[in-house]
Chain A
Amino acid sequence: MIKFALGLCLLMLVACTPAQTGVLPYIDLSVRTPLPQAAPAELAHLRVGVAAILSPQGTVASYSHLAEHLAEKLGRPVDLVQRRTYAELNDMVEESQVELAFICTNAYVVGSEQFGMELLLAPEINGKSVYYSRLIVPADSAAQSMDDLRNKVFAFTDPMSFTGRIYPVYLLQQMGQTPERFFQRTFYTYSHDRAIEAVADGVADGAAVDSLVLDHALQRNPELAARIRIIHTSEAFGIPPVVVPPTLPPRQKAQLRDLLSSMHEDAAGKEVLLELGIDRFVAIDNAAYDGVRAIVHATGIGE
């Protein structure tokens, strides 16, 4: 009887053992090889730098179609290159690691002074190539001006950002204040869309952001309007430009300028521009950035 019961148990044991379905493939993890080097590209890639005005994902979402459009027109692959800070991207432009860059106004002001960064074109929106710095607070905040943000938490975008850092510091300077004394605490978000989110989520009590980014975000995401409030808009400044390294061959510079400035002339290009929230690319004069230059030099930061 005992043998019979044990036999039964053994049978159950065999029946209940979890069966691995089929024969598993085998990989010996101890067999290591050095990683293969990437094969050199057959065609030279056009490297397009985009400053972290938007978050990396936002940049990819906005600029990937532009990159595809350029690749199609140029007949060679286009790589979007991003870096965390404006300074890093400026370095890449200086060292010609990118052939084309979409950067912030201050980055241009600094770059042109430091290594002769060259203006290529600038976006035009509603017939103007200007933008503003807008001071935003959470919708439920009682603040009406910069003065009301005393002892609050303030979000800067990038140390080199004109609208996101230099302009608000300039405002404080006019009030005879410094961020360190005026605010309880400040932090960097390293992009304008993150700064907007930080204010909307109440992480920051205020932030100064690029009007182009803010308007675009409000257009794409209407419920955002219920979560933030604009308490101040600056005077008009020259719009963030498209630049090239000073070493870029003139033929290539001309090719890129022609390509970009004629984009609005065909339907596919128009669609790409619409996604970027601009009407077309136009030539711009260095003098358009004198307003920015004056404030940068007045604050003496971000250089």
Chain B
Amino acid sequence: MSDVTSERAPRQMPNFMRRLDPAVTTAFACIILLLAFGSFYSTSFLSPEYLLQQLKVASFLGVIATGMMIVILLGQIDLSVPWSVAVGGMMACAAAAFGPTGEAFAIPFGIACGMAIGVVNGFGVAYLRIPSMIITLATNAVAQGLMVVYTGGFSPQDSATAAMRYLATGDLLPGIPNAVIIWAIVGAAAVFALTRTTFGRSVYGIGNRERAAYLSGVNTRRIVLVAFIVSGGLSALGGVLLAGYASKAAQSMGDAYLLPSIAAVVLGGTSILGGRGRYLGTVAGVILITLLQSILAVMQMPEAGRQITYGIVILLMLLLYGRAPASR
């Protein structure tokens, strides 16, 4: 856990020290609380191996939450995450079945399929002005329908390529899993794009007031389209990594990522109305959610209890600092 903060420290630290974001501070405080609580249950909770393992699991969610964060910064939401993840994993595995050429193109193909879903979402939101939660629910249903037809209702038999498995489970640098490195690269790219490019400025601008951004000459529709494509692509990348981790894709592999990815972004202090939020918060949110899941698993909480705890924790944290202003 401390690895991630130090990784991002050079860029974030001075800013972070000057004005402590209450949401990010709360999220990190909760992480420390969870770690302390977890160490009561088991002494191995604070061991480097366990923490690194948690970080590896967190990196799948981290990649997916990065795309979700960009969309939420626009003031929109992407509810097509579950089947974008599944499509990414399944299509990459499907491509792997087509011999060596297929294996070489498996990962780009999976990501491209996710981006295609993003194109439909982005086109609907930006050009047809359909509310994002509706159009993304609809594309989610269509993606599910396509996959059901493709697989015949069963889990696909194709397995992940060696490259996918290496990305998800191998370690290029000794001791640091590749998945974590991918998350770090995706995260660094996101931080750069959000803080140092016109794209990032436009995203925050649109999230604050789309009308003003449009009048300032921002091509708002193109920015929204690109943001949804990025979100679809990152969800699919998450799916590719997950398929590599489990060495095959499954029908419902993405279902467990919708609520956590929204929760991670929102718990990290990004306003659900858009225009406000920093990537460091999302990192904190992702780690917080992963640790919470892990502790609930260690406590051998059944699925029912996990769902309830999840919902309650998210609601409580949001009530603490995610409320809309009282005045109208």
| A and B pair up | no
